[in-house]
Amino acid sequence: MHYSIIRRLATQPKLANVPKRKWKSVVGLEVHAQIASASKLFSGSGSSFGAPLNSSVAFFDASIPGTLPVLNRKCVESGIKTSLALGCRVNEVSMFDRKHYFYADLPNGYQITQQRAALANDGKMTFPVITPGKKVYYKTAKLLQLQLEQDSGKSLHDDYLKRSLVDLNRAGLPLMELVFAPDLETGEEAASLVKELMLILRRLQTCSCKMEEGALRVDANISIHLEGDPLGVRTEVKNIGSVRSISQAITYEINRQLETVANGGVITNETRNWDAENRRTVAMRDKEVLQDYRFMPEPNLPPLHVNLKPGSKSTEDLLSVAALSLEIPELPEDTRQRLLEQYNLNAETAIILVNEPILLDNFLSISRSLSDMPNKVIYNFLINDLLTYCNKLNLDVEKCSISADGLKDILKCLHSEQINLQAARQLIELLHNNPKVKVNELIELHNLQQICSPEEIEELCQQAIANQAKAVQQYQKGKAKALFAIVGEVAKLSAQKANMKLVVQCLEKLLKPSKK
């Protein structure tokens, strides 16, 4: 990215001294996705979130001597399906390794991962990047490898008693680690990649992607360099808890590095923590000394073999990649193309609908049920009205209380001209706050019916003409736009309930010069 202009958050570093058009930023992501499985990667204990402390711990998870790992077949299937969906080359043989390091919440003293021979390599992701105020564009990032590994436990720090306790419920949970090449340049691109990845994983049902539960964790490696020079020293940013925070954290860190260089400082290789409350990165530890993880082959797990032959079927002992490929559903980009071709949507609308699965489901459901309603009316209402309402409340659209049937009923009333668009927007709020009340009851209760009676319309128009004498004169002298002032007066007199189409027709008739 060329930094001629750099957008800042409220807490962004000052960049007045940064030379223009000389620096480029580079971003690479590492994503840990918890595999949706009823049990852990190498044991039979449960994997549900929020279970009582240390209630989902098998002997193997607690590193009891004599226990051995047993690989979870479902997790391998999920890893293969995810690899195929991301265009990876699935390896016929992959291997497990021990990665040694000491943490209190790592009972074994090592993590079982796939360092030497991962499950899959050489994938890529092409995804749309939506930046406010800019044109949507597509970006491609290479996926270097996808590997299976187990999670560690969790340390709980008690500030009052000044001690730390360990919860091993998380120890051994199945993870897919996805390592992306440093092909990104901005925080917006990184957030867009993660958003697309979440859509894919949810379609595959291989990960819940609930970042608030730790089911998807993102680490970002960020560096800057002069155009034409080798890549600079990178910093790693951890503890990024939401898609929005990904963009904010990376943008802040890029700007911090630019400011440091502009002031004569040097970027150090370190791990930084994202402070979401203050919207800044904070130094955690330096990485100048390379940590020796003493990788070694996992002696208790044989190499993992899969069948790569086309047309093969899975057996009890050997998974078939060809058979698993048949289970892959329609992916987000395929859905976008289908919306363009079948529903004549524009590219940006298709991207917005696919990025919000609940909006997409509502659009497809309403479009099928109300086949005589133009698609444009449906998606405009969902995006411009429903989504806007949710954004104002800072509410995830999936948590909106309005059902698909409720939205369908509002659109039915709008299409039949029982209500106008203003009333439809009011009904969104009313139905969200009263989800069990029928739409027709809300219309009746709040007197939202559209005024369509010719007599009432004419009476309102006569009052508006009397109130807007100056606009009437301008209109009759040929200034067509003056009619808008009179129409606005009718809307005001009718409390926004008059049928504007009939109002315009009536005003044109009333204000038409009489023939002598």
Residue type, 90: V
Q: What is the pLDDT of residue 289?
A: 62
pLDDT digits (tens, 9 = 90+) for 179-235: 999 999 999 999 999 999 999 999 999 999 999 999 999 999 999 999 888 999 999
pLDDT digits (tens, 9 = 90+) for 271-323: 999 998 899 999 887 765 667 889 999 999 999 999 999 999 999 999 999 99
pLDDT digits (tens, 9 = 90+) for 503-514: 898 988 888 765
Q: What is the pLDDT of residue 11?
A: 56
| Comparison of pLDDT for 43 and 1, the residue scoring more | 43
Strand-pair category, 296-297 with 304-307 = unpaired
Q: Give the rounded distance of the alpha carbon of 220 from its chain centre.
A: 17
Per-residue tokens: 283:
């130094």
In sign, the C-alpha dihedral spanning 65, 69, 70, 72 is positive
CB-CB contact of 53 with 256 (8 Å): no
Q: How confident is the model at residue 67 (pLDDT cuts 50, 70, 90)?
A: very high
Region 22-26 average pLDDT: 92
Q: Does the pLDDT at position 168 exceed 80?
A: yes
pLDDT digits (tens, 9 = 90+) for 90-121: 999 999 999 998 888 899 999 999 999 999 99
- Return the percentage of the chain with pLDDT > 70, whole number: 94
Measured from the Cβ of residue 264, the count of other Cβ atoms closer than 10 Å reads: 7
Q: What is the pLDDT of residue 10?
A: 45
Q: What is the pLDDT of residue 5?
A: 36
pLDDT digits (tens, 9 = 90+) for 228-268: 889 999 999 998 989 999 999 999 999 999 999 999 999 99
Q: What is the pLDDT of residue 62?
A: 94
Round the average pLDDT of the chain to a whole number and report it: 90
Measured from the Cβ of residue 211, the count of other Cβ atoms closer than 10 Å reads: 18
CB-CB contact of 266 with 232 (8 Å): no
What's the rounded Cα separation, in Å, for the pair 370 and 265? 63
CB-CB contact of 339 with 330 (8 Å): no
Q: How confident is the model at residue 3 (pLDDT cuts 50, 70, 90)?
A: very low
Q: Does the pLDDT at position 159 exceed 60?
A: yes
Q: What is the pLDDT of residue 2?
A: 44
Q: How confident is the model at residue 20 (pLDDT cuts 50, 70, 90)?
A: low
- Which residues, 6 or more positions from 369, have their beta carbon under 8 angstroms from its beta carbon? 408
Q: Does the pLDDT at position 373 exceed 60?
A: yes
Q: How confident is the model at residue 25 (pLDDT cuts 50, 70, 90)?
A: very high
Q: What is the pLDDT of residue 320?
A: 96
DSSP conformational letter for 81: H
Region 72-88 average pLDDT: 97
Cα dist. 5→8, 191, 255, 259 in Å? 10, 20, 11, 14
- Which residues, 6 or more positions from 465, have their beta carbon under 8 angstroms from its beta carbon? 472, 486, 507, 510, 511
Angle at 467 between CA 461 and CA 472, to 5 degrees: 75
Q: How confident is the model at residue 15 (pLDDT cuts 50, 70, 90)?
A: low
Q: Does the pLDDT at position 386 exceed 90?
A: yes
Region 373-393 average pLDDT: 92
CB-side exposure of 279: number of CA atoms within 13 Å? 13
- pTM, two decimals, is 0.87
CB-CB contact of 391 with 348 (8 Å): no
DSSP conformational letter for 159: T
Q: For the ranges 15-24, 182-191, 456-465, 490-499, which has the lowest average pLDDT? A: 15-24
Spell out a b/e string for 409-443, using b for 16 or more CB atoms within 10 Å of the CB, else e: bbbbbbbeebbbbbbbbbbbebbbeeeeeebeebb
pLDDT digits (tens, 9 = 90+) for 398-407: 889 999 899 9
CB-side exposure of 511: number of CA atoms within 13 Å? 28
Angle at 299 between CA 206 and CA 61, to 5 degrees: 55
| Comparison of pLDDT for 239 and 345, the residue scoring more | 345
Domains of the chain: 22-297 (no CATH), 332-445 (no CATH), 454-515 (1.10.10.410)
Q: What is the pLDDT of residue 228?
A: 85
Q: Does the pLDDT at position 460 exceed 60?
A: yes
How many residues are recorded in the chain?
516
